[in-house]
Amino acid sequence: MKNTANFDVIIIGGSYAGLSAAMALGRSLRKVLIIDAGNPCNKQTPHSHNFITQDGEQPAVIAAKAKAQVLKYDTVQFLEDKAISGERSKKGFTIKTGSGAKYSSKKLIFATGIKDIMPKIKGFAECWGISVIHCPYCHGYEFRSQKTAIMANGERAFHLASLVHNLTKKLIILTNGNANFDDTQLSKLNQNGIEIIETEITEMEHQNGQIQNVVFKNGKKISLDALYAGIPFEQHTEIPVTLGCELTEQGYIKVDPFQKTSIKGIYACGDNSSMMRSVANAVYTGNMVGAMVNKELVEEEF
């Protein structure tokens, strides 16, 4: 870390989105500081898919390669620390980290991802990202034609059912309580032979994260190879909200088509501001942010 505290741009979050933004900015000769706490949401996921040129690669390997390439641009620095607070300054923004240091910048980018809120089901967290998964496009091919369940309810479960049924006909829905489908949805699910089980779930029996059985409150169990789960989330950091950034009804940071937040000079990219939760989308939105932030800086300076 070079001895400087003033930057053109501070990027909070150093995974795919943050690194993608930093590359675009580094290639535009911008002084950039990436602050990253080293806690990616996909740390348990063994392989990343549906990202061309990197299909099947380990997520950490992709991130390490990206970091090495980005840091070849000598105006970009990477700080292993946690951003804990932020405030406006006369020239932009100031970020304080867990180590007590302060850094200032003209522009601020949040690439902080989201934090999944795990249900109180024994074994669920251990399986998350391995055999308990969230996205048919990211993981579905690997579990094609296998015994699969969807743990969700209502519109979320119905939406997933249509996608997953395309990959496997060995499919059931676990609503973990009373089902919440309308008559049209129930008719369509029945038409496609998809069973609905409403009994409360108490445990995911597994072997090193590979699910084997779902155990219900009544003592019954069913064997599975994979389970899709729609679970709630929260933002990894409260700093955007404390700086005035709006959130959507779903809890994402609200951005316009160019990834601008509701606060001038602050941008967001990746999972924290998009329902499209994938490596490819994180890289795309990060690249967009880098270009837009540089454009804003150029217009202010020219």
Sequential DSSP letters for 82-115: -EEEEEEETTEEEEEETTS-EEEEEEEEE---EE
| Average pLDDT over every residue of 281-292 | 97
pTM recorded for the entire structure:
0.92
pLDDT (tens digit per residue) in 10-30:
999 999 999 999 999 999 999
In angstroms, the CA 12 to CA 253 distance is 14
pLDDT at 56: 81
CB contact set of 140 (below 8 Å; sequence gap of 6+): 133, 163, 164, 167
Per-residue pLDDT of 171-226, as tens digits, reads: 999 999 999 999 999 999 999 999 999 999 999 999 999 999 999 999 999 999 99
| Angle, helices 154-165/183-191, rounded to nearest 10 degrees | 20
Tell me what the pLDDT averaged over the chain comes to: 94
Euclidean distance between CA atoms 34 and 78, whole angstroms: 5
Half-sphere exposure of 62 (CA within 13 A, CB side): 27
What's the rounded Cα separation, in Å, for the pair 74 and 288? 21
Radius of gyration of the chain (CA): 21
